[in-house]
């Protein structure tokens, strides 16, 4: 199975160089948000068939809200959302555009082989 993570600041259109695993790995889970200064992120996981290096088709996308207090190294990770309407609501148009372009450029054959319902998630409204 092929998978790739894109981690966006909630209001930015270009992902960070770090993945969700890299940024949130050594943080403590927040039990309460009182006193925390949380920065909001959107973590996007794209999955597909193929090798770890090269996908042959994209099959699924999941998005979750993640929040981090950088100074206290405490985080809140929401459950992954995989329903079309949830994904469309969570992602900004610019984020959808970035993801679509990245997938088309880095794996054009996988993009073309993907089912319409997957590609439709990246349509701009």
3-class secondary structure, 65: strand
39 in any annotated domain: yes
**DSSP H/E element including 101:** helix 93-106
Q: Is the pLDDT of residue 106 over 80?
A: yes
Of 46, 42, 37, nearest to 23 by C-alpha is 42
What's the distance, CA 20 to chain centroid? 8
17 in any annotated domain: yes
Global pTM reads 0.92
Instruction: Say if residues 15 and 98 touch (Cβ distance below 8 Å).
Output: yes
7 in any annotated domain: yes
Q: Which tokens sit at 54? A: 């090269």
Q: Compute the distance between CA of residue 114 and CA of residue 118 in angstroms, rounded to an integer.
A: 6
Q: Is the pLDDT of residue 47 over 90?
A: yes
The mean pLDDT of 92-96, rounded to a whole number, is 96
6 in any annotated domain: yes
Of 79, 65, 70, 14, nearest to 38 by C-alpha is 70
Q: Compute the distance between CA of residue 115 and CA of residue 103 in angstroms, rounded to an integer.
A: 14
123 in any annotated domain: no
What's the domain count of the chain? 1
34 in any annotated domain: yes
* Structural domain containing residue 86: 2-118
User: Which range has the worst mean pLDDT, 3-12, 22-31, 83-92, 112-121?
Assistant: 22-31
């Amino acid at each position: 199975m092929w998978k790739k993570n894109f981690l966006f600041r909630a209001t930015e259109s270009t992902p960070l160089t770090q993945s969700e695993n890299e940024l949130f790995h050594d943080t403590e889970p927040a039990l309460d948000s009182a006193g925390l200064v949380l920065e909001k992120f959107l973590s996007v996981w794209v999955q597909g068939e193929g090798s770890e290096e090269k996908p042959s088709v994209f099959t699924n996308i999941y998005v979750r809200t993640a929040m981090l207090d950088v100074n206290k190294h405490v985080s809140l990770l929401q459950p992954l959302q995989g329903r079309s309407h949830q994904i469309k609501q969570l992602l900004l148009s610019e984020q959808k555009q970035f993801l679509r372009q990245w997938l088309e450029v880095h794996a054009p054959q996988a993009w073309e082989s993907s089912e319409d319902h997957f590609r439709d998630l990246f349509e701009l409204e």
